[in-house]
């Protein structure tokens, strides 16, 4: 067992107090996200784990079996912190401040042996740097998980299928259509066509910021699939700049029914289903009102 | 050999596919159907595929072939009841079944056939891609 490990084992209490002191004095500590008590518990657990791992005599290779509990605790802490909304800086500072706490103790204890002190501090540096890398990695992984979950949720809620009339469905698309979303849009739309027995579907793209050839291709795919099912598809919400872009790109939408506004598409859908919407006959009301 | 029954219903032929079509069955159907159209002088063919869950490019082509052959002999083809998953697969395969009419169910398919063949006593629609309703 090397000197650092012995020191940590012996002076665990002091180190923990020092460490807590550094953490608590840091301006960036987020008391809104974590309580002092919880922080102390977390820190103690990590320090105990580290002491146990170092007691095995291995102070270099953090990928060794003895360090598994430590890395697990760290991964746990940083994933939770990523979810709680800590910044990466705050999370890594947490580990790096432990380095300072241990180095301070080493400095006190080995004040008369500068060479030994140097070696020990360097070893400690290497060890804790590796640990902070692990913290960073898991922190980012935790964040990515959050982002992935949100992406899923967004694509889930951003493609509602609305029944605007008996036999007429509307599907407002918000955001750019990529292959993945096209699949979701198609599945939702086709399933809803089966469920409601609707013969007309209106795809409204007023919420799509830009239409390039890829997006157009995805739209054409969706229209084709709807046709195969036996329903008719109208694309609405084609703004002036989108019409320009489509023509400049040389995309042929002539085989698809298109309208500038959702209102226009609804009107077309009514006429296709032989429905008529009329204003109430004014002449009868006229006499009553005046 | 297994065969898919072809029913005659007035001027139309009715085919309901209740099993997944494997290649030989599909080829057999194509042959039988064309023979039936020629024998009965049918004006329309309605193919119901709601029980089909697996589809490949071969079957897509067979349906296209049936439609083309029937048209040459003066019969329109309507495919009804396609499952969403099948439609998505066909689109991903790049098959759009040009020249084949589609409808959601048998009832709507029959209306469409009547309409397309002009047998509903109404004037034929000017735009061929206008739906039946």
What is the least distance, in Å, from the CA of A197 to any CA of chain B?
Answer: 7
Residues of chain A short of pLDDT 70, as ranges, are 1, 28-29, 57-60, 282-290
Q: Is B21 on the interface with A (CB under 8 A)?
A: no
| Reported pTM | 0.64
Identify the pLDDT of residue B125.
Answer: 46
Q: pLDDT (tens digit, 9 = 90+) per residue, B6-30?
A: 999 889 999 998 888 788 888 899 9
Q: How many CA atoms lie within 13 A of B45 on its CB side?
A: 34
What is the least distance, in Å, from the CA of B3 to any CA of chain A?
Answer: 25
Please give the C-alpha separations between residue A188 and each of A117, A276, B85, B99, in angstroms, as whole numbers: 67, 28, 11, 26
What is the least distance, in Å, from the CA of A32 to any CA of chain B?
Answer: 49
What is the least distance, in Å, from the CA of A202 to any CA of chain B?
Answer: 15
Residues of A in contact with B90 (CB under 8 A): 225, 228
Residue among A218, A171, A216 at smallest CA distance from A192? A171
Average per-residue pLDDT in chain A?
A: 85
Q: How far apart are CA A184 and CA A8, in angstroms?
A: 55
User: Is B87 in Cβ contact with A200 (below 8 Å)?
Assistant: no
Residues of A in contact with B80 (CB under 8 A): 230
Q: Is B97 on the interface with A (CB under 8 A)?
A: yes
Residues of A in contact with B82 (CB under 8 A): 228-230
Please give the C-alpha separations between residue B111 and each of A38, B105, B117, B126, B133, in angstroms, as whole numbers: 71, 10, 10, 17, 8
Identify the pLDDT of residue A59.
Answer: 64
| Cα Rg of chain B (Å, integer) | 14
User: Is B96 in Cβ contact with A227 (below 8 Å)?
Assistant: yes
Q: How far apart are CA B68 and CA A195, in angstroms?
A: 31
Q: pLDDT (tens digit, 9 = 90+) per residue, A84-101?
A: 878 888 888 888 888 888
Q: How far apart are CA B20 and CA A290, in angstroms?
A: 69
User: Is B105 in Cβ contact with A197 (below 8 Å)?
Assistant: yes
Q: pLDDT (tens digit, 9 = 90+) per residue, A226-266?
A: 999 999 999 999 988 889 988 998 888 888 999 999 999 99
ipTM (interface pTM): 0.77
With CA atoms as reference, the chain A residue closest to B93 would be: A221
Q: Is B106 on the interface with A (CB under 8 A)?
A: no
b/e A106-129 (16+ beta carbons within 10 angstroms → b): beebbeeeeeebeebbebbeebbe
Residues of chain B short of pLDDT 70, as ranges, are 1, 121-133
User: Is B133 in Cβ contact with A272 (below 8 Å)?
Assistant: yes
With CA atoms as reference, the chain A residue closest to B81 would be: A229
**Chain A residues 121-180 with a CB less than 8 Å from chain B:** 167
**Token match 């300072």: residue?**
A100
Q: Is B19 on the interface with A (CB under 8 A)?
A: no
Residue B124 DSSP code:
P
């Amino acid at each position: 067992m090397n000197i650092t490990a012995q020191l940590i084992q012996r002076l665990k209490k002091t180190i923990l107090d020092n460490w807590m002191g550094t953490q608590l004095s840091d301006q960036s500590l987020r008391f809104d996200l974590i309580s002092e008590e919880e922080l102390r518990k977390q820190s103690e657990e990590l320090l105990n784990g580290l002491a146990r791992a170092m007691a095995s005599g291995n102070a270099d290779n953090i990928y060794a079996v003895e360090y598994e509990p430590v890395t697990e605790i760290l991964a746990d802490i940083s994933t939770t912190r990523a979810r709680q909304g800590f910044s990466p800086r705050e999370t890594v500072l947490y580990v790096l401040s432990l380095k300072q706490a241990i180095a301070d103790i080493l400095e006190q204890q080995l004040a008369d042996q500068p060479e030994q002190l140097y070696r020990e501090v360097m070893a400690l540096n290497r060890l804790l740097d590796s640990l902070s890398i692990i913290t960073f990695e898991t922190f980012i992984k935790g964040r990515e998980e959050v982002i992935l979950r949100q992406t899923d949720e967004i694509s889930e809620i951003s493609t509602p299928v609305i029944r605007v009339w008996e036999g007429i469905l509307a599907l407002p698309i918000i955001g750019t259509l990529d292959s993945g979303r096209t699949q979701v849009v198609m599945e939702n739309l086709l399933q809803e066509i089966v469920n409601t027995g609707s013969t007309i579907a209106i795809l409204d793209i007023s919420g799509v910021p830009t239409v390039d050839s890829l997006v157009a291709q995805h739209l054409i795919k969706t229209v084709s699939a709807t046709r195969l099912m036996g329903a008719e598809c109208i694309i609405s919400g084609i703004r002036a700049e989108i019409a320009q872009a489509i023509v400049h790109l040389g995309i042929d939408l002539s085989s698809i029914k298109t309208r500038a506004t959702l209102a226009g598409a609804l009107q077309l859908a009514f006429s296709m289903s032989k429905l008529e919407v009329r204003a109430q006959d004014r002449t009868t009301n006229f006499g009553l009102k005046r | 050999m297994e065969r898919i029954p072809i029913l005659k219903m007035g001027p139309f032929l009715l085919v309901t596919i209740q099993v997944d079509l494997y290649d030989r069955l599909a080829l057999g159907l194509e042959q039988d159907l064309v023979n039936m159209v020629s024998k009965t002088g049918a004006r329309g063919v309605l193919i119901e595929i709601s029980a089909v869950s697996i589809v490949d490019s071969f079957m897509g082509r067979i349906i296209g072939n049936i439609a083309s052959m029937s048209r040459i002999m003066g019969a329109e083809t309507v495919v009804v009841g396609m499952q969403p998953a099948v439609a998505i697969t066909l689109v991903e395969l790049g098959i759009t079944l040009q020249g084949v009419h589609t409808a959601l169910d048998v009832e709507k398919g029959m209306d469409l056939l009547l309409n397309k063949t002009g047998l509903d006593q109404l004037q034929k629609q000017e735009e061929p891609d206008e739906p039946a309703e």
